């Protein structure tokens, strides 16, 4: 089930060199999480920080000429304008500047490990980033704020009529938009020609064929495992790569189980104590054989092929 | 090799030294070991680029970047045909994808884009929307006429368009003196700056709404235009009754030429998206919408700038300048400026832009 979900999010990106790169679309949950983080950061910096500053200033200059009561109205007004402009540019600048940067992601997106990209391998342009961020306003914030206002109006027992339902419908329409298309695009993504993808972060793993029994004798017993044609022709690439993953990550107990399975399959008598060396040798020889076939254009996908 | 190496405790970048190439038993691992150095160098450059842009990167590395990217890309296509090492393949795919984002990423930062936008990009985008602008202009004129006619037919419409606002003298039955006074200037500049900032925030909100509603095939954008202009029509009718139309026009023109122009552009931008989605032509709907959306987004950034100008004009000169002639002069010269900027200002696009 999990693997099938991954499949549904897998897309291919064709670079200008003609190389097909696999990319994975970001799950809707992480996008929602990223948005919540971003909004919290903005709201916090717009509300909490000025409030804190005001408190500190009030405390510091309580009796001095800088106390609030003594400040000229014009100065207060000027500060008010600064606050409005600051809020406006924070609101739009936060998303714009960060998504145009080399990471293509806001702080929230970076935290959940996703970034924006142009659909279908085109170049991401500033226009696209602007378009997708302008649309975010009517998708989420405009209906939310209107609903909030309506709620306050309704509490004062003024009639709001059908408007409440209209705004709720609007809000739900855009909120659920990503569920009604294959690439989980929101309205802003459609208008801008972008999508949101997972940011790959893989470290280069160790080379397997330079150590242990991949090269020859076992370190523990000194035995040199050698497998014949029949024993190596049982498994295919899928099993080889499963074995590779286990050699890199699994604890000895898991390796013992795999060792037993393979021994039974190839008709050997499973011993004990030297499982890792056996598996390393089997891995190296199986891979050598399959890669040799590969060079002649023969692929064996799995044990059933 | 299993023994812990002290150097691997420090830093993420440099792990243990790669093993000797000849020591690898498999041919595909030797292939990997031969090229690993280049991959790691590319990765280090990418990490620095993602962190802080281009400034922190040595010239040598920057020159090497495209070559390293192509090396990694070709390593990947060779490895896909010769190697069954899943970990290496996954690493290469991720590396090439990250490098692709940097090599083919946004070519300009925000500041650079803003400069290109002011010197050519904006007026070019506006000219590309000429048909939508004509339609939106027609709708706006029609909206004004409709507003006038509605109120002329039945005064009750006036109260429907302007919900009752106690203290506002601008209502049917107002005397000439009252109306004239409402056009006059207020005392001094106190309070006007805050007023301007609030106006700006409000007006640009309306414009962004008109643009974003274009998503529903442009119809809500047009309705918004009709509604806003009907208000203007009703106001014109009211002042016409007392023979004050010229004074009202002068009062409005100070900021109105800029503000109405901005509303016109945002309505046209919304309509442009809606039209592209309704009639995508030979392109798939999504592509057509994306193309139109990017073009309109440029116009919209410009509209926000126009709204800043309009709010400043509305707060200061309109309230401080009282003379009808001067008001017309300010409004008219701004209109002339915008028209000249959008229609006559046509710098040649830079070579890089033309190629994009």
**Each residue's pLDDT tens digit, B22-72:** 777 788 888 888 888 899 999 998 888 888 766 777 888 888 888 999 999
Number of structural domains in chain B? 2
A123 vs B356: CB contact, 8 Å cut-off? yes
The pLDDT value given to residue B54? 66
CA dihedral A44, A48, A49, A50 (to 10 degrees): 120
Whether A74 has a pLDDT exceeding 80, the answer reads: no
Inside any domain, residue B139: yes
Give the DSSP per-residue string, B309-320: HHHHHHHTHHHH
Q: Is the dihedral of CA A165, A170, A173, A174 positive or negative?
A: negative
Inside any domain, residue B305: yes
A80 vs B197: CB contact, 8 Å cut-off? yes
Looking at the fold, whether B94 and B131 belong to one and the same domain comes out as no
CB A305 within 8 A of CB A236: yes
Looking at the fold, whether B183 and B244 belong to one and the same domain comes out as yes
Structure tokens that stand for A87 in this block:
């809020």
Whether B9 has a pLDDT exceeding 50, the answer reads: no
The pLDDT value given to residue B137? 93
How confident is the model over A252-295, as pLDDT tens digits? Answer: 888 888 888 888 888 887 777 778 888 888 888 888 888 888 88
Looking at the fold, whether B91 and B50 belong to one and the same domain comes out as yes
Looking at the fold, whether B296 and B155 belong to one and the same domain comes out as yes
Top residue of B85, B214, B302 to mutate, by most chain A CBs within 10 Å, is B85
Q: Is the dihedral of CA B307, B309, B315, B318 positive or negative?
A: negative
Q: Is A263 on the interface with B (CB under 8 A)?
A: no
Q: Residue A202: list chain B partners with CB under 8 A.
A: 90-91, 93-95
Stretch A37-63: mean pLDDT: 80
pLDDT category, A299, cuts 50, 70, 90? confident
Inside any domain, residue B326: yes
Looking at the fold, whether B80 and B146 belong to one and the same domain comes out as no
On the 0-12 / 13-18 / 19+ scale of CB atoms within 10 A, A190 is: buried
- Closest C-alpha to B170, from B242, B227, B258: B242
Looking at the fold, whether B134 and B38 belong to one and the same domain comes out as no
Structure tokens that stand for A105 in this block:
């992601």
Strand partners, A14: A20
Half-sphere exposure of A189 (CA within 13 A, CB side): 22
Euclidean distance between CA atoms B219 and B226, whole angstroms: 11
Residue written as token pair 């080889």: A240
Q: Residue B315: list chain A partners with CB under 8 A.
A: none
Looking at the fold, whether B175 and B251 belong to one and the same domain comes out as yes
pLDDT category, B7, cuts 50, 70, 90? very low
Whether B188 has a pLDDT exceeding 80, the answer reads: no
Q: Which residues contact A210 (CB under 8 A, 6 or more apart)?
A: B1, B19, B20, B23, B24, B25, B29
Whether B325 has a pLDDT exceeding 60, the answer reads: yes
B258-271 burial: b if 16+ Cβ within 10 Å, else e: bbbbbbbbbbbbbb
Q: What does the mean pLDDT of chain B come to?
A: 80
Q: Which residues contact A101 (CB under 8 A, 6 or more apart)?
A: B53, B109
Looking at the fold, whether B245 and B97 belong to one and the same domain comes out as no
Residue of A nearest to B34 (CA): A207
Euclidean distance between CA atoms B208 and B304, whole angstroms: 8
Q: Residue B211: list chain A partners with CB under 8 A.
A: 134
Whether A66 has a pLDDT exceeding 90, the answer reads: no
CB B150 within 8 A of CB B227: no
Last residue of a domain, one of B103, B128, B154: B103
Top residue of B294, B302, B305, B356 to mutate, by most chain A CBs within 10 Å, is B294
Looking at the fold, whether B189 and B322 belong to one and the same domain comes out as yes
Q: What does the mean pLDDT of chain A come to?
A: 82
CB A192 within 8 A of CB A260: no
Q: Give strand ranges (E) for chain A.
A: 10-14, 20-24, 114-118, 194-198
pLDDT category, A4, cuts 50, 70, 90? low
B195 to each of B173, B213, B288, how far by Cα in Å? 28, 27, 40
Looking at the fold, whether B188 and B143 belong to one and the same domain comes out as yes
Top residue of B77, B290, B304 to mutate, by most chain A CBs within 10 Å, is B290
Name the pairing type of β-strands A114-118 and A10-14: unpaired
CA distance A184 to chain B (A): 13
Looking at the fold, whether B232 and B89 belong to one and the same domain comes out as no
Inside any domain, residue B1: no
Euclidean distance between CA atoms B3 and B24, whole angstroms: 18
Range of the domain at B88: 6-103
CB B136 within 8 A of CB B224: no
How confident is the model over A232-241, as pLDDT tens digits? Answer: 888 888 888 8
A244 to each of A123, A258, B25, B95, B294, how far by Cα in Å? 36, 12, 15, 20, 46
Last residue of a domain, one of B70, B85, B103: B103
- Closest C-alpha to B316, from B295, B336, B296, B330: B330
Longest dimension (CA), chain A: 95
CB A279 within 8 A of CB A247: yes
How confident is the model over B115-172, as pLDDT tens digits? Answer: 888 888 899 999 999 999 999 999 999 999 998 998 888 888 887 777 665 556 667 7
The pLDDT value given to residue B189? 46
Whether B288 has a pLDDT exceeding 80, the answer reads: yes
Strand partners, A217: A224
Q: What angle do CA B256, B259, B260 make, to 5 degrees?
A: 75
Chains A, B: CB pairs < 8 Å: 211
Looking at the fold, whether B30 and B76 belong to one and the same domain comes out as yes
B23 vs A215: CB contact, 8 Å cut-off? yes
Last residue of a domain, one of B75, B103, B131: B103
């Amino acid at each position: 089930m999990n693997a099938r979900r991954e499949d549904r999010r897998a897309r291919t990106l064709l670079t200008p060199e003609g190389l097909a790169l696999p990319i994975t679309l970001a799950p809707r949950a992480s996008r929602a999480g990223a948005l919540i983080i971003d909004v919290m950061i903005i709201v916090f910096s717009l509300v909490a920080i000025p409030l804190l500053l005001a408190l500190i200033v009030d405390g510091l200059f309580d009796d001095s000429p800088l106390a609030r009561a003594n400040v000229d109205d014009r100065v207060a007004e000027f500060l008010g304008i600064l606050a409005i402009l600051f809020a406006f540019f924070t609101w739009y600048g936060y998303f714009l500047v960060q998504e145009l940067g080399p990471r293509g992601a806001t702080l929230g997106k970076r935290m959940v490990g996703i970034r924006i990209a142009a659909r279908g391998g085109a170049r991401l342009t500033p226009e696209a980033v602007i378009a997708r961020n302008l649309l975010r306003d009517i998708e989420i914030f405009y209906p939310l704020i209107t609903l909030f206002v309506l709620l306050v109006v309704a509490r004062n027992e003024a009639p709001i009529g059908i408007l409440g339902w209209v705004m709720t419908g609007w809000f739900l329409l855009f909120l659920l938009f990503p569920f009604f298309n294959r690439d989980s695009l929101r309205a802003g993504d459609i208008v801008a020609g972008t999508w949101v993808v997972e940011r790959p972060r893989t470290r280069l793993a160790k080379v397997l064929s330079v150590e242990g029994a991949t090269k020859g004798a076992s370190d523990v017993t000194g035995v040199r495992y050698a497998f014949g044609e029949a024993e190596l022709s049982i498994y295919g690439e899928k099993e080889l790569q499963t074995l590779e993953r286990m050699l890199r990550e699994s604890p000895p107990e898991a390796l013992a189980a795999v060792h037993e399975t393979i021994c039974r399959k190839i008709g050997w008598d499973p011993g004990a104590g030297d499982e890792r060396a056996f598996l390393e040798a089997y891995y190296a020889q199986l891979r050598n054989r399959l890669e040799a076939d590969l060079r002649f254009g023969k692929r064996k996908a799995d044990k059933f092929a | 090799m299993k023994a812990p190496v002290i150097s691997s405790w420090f830093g993420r970048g440099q792990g243990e030294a790669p093993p000797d190439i000849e020591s690898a038993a498999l041919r595909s691992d030797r292939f990997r070991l031969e090229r690993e150095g280049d991959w790691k160098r590319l990765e280090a450059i990418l990490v620095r680029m993602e962190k802080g842009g281009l400034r922190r990167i040595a010239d040598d590395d920057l020159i090497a970047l495209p070559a390293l990217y192509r090396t990694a890309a070709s390593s990947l296509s060779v490895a896909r045909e010769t190697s069954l090492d899943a970990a290496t393949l996954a690493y290469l795919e991720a590396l090439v994808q990250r490098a692709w984002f940097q090599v083919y990423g946004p070519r300009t930062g925000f500041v650079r884009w803003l400069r290109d936008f002011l010197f050519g990009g904006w007026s070019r985008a506006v000219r590309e929307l000429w048909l939508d602008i004509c339609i939106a202009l027609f709708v706006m004129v029609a909206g004004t006429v409709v507003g006038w006619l509605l109120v002329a037919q039945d005064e009750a419409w006036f109260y429907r368009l302007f919900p009752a606002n106690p203290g506002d003298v601008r209502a049917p039955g107002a005397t000439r003196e009252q109306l004239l006074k409402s056009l006059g200037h207020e005392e001094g500049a106190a309070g006007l700056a805050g007023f301007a900032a609030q106006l700006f925030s409000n007006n640009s909100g309306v414009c962004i709404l008109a643009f974003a509603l274009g998503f529903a095939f442009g119809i809500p954008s047009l309705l918004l235009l009709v509604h806003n202009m009907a208000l203007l029509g009703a106001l014109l009718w009211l002042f016409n009754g007392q023979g004050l139309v010229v004074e009202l026009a002068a009062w409005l023109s100070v900021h109105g030429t800029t503000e109405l122009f901005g509303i016109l552009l945002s309505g046209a931008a919304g309509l442009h998206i809606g039209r592209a989605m309704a009639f995508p032509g030979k392109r798939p709907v999504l592509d057509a919408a994306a193309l139109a959306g990017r073009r309109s987004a440029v116009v919209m950034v410009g509209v926000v700038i126009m709204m800043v100008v309009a709010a400043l004009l509305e707060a200061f000169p309109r309230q401080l300048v009282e003379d009808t002639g001067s008001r017309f002069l300010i409004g008219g010269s701004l209109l002339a400026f915008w028209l000249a900027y959008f229609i006559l200002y046509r710098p040649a696009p830079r070579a890089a832009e033309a190629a994009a």
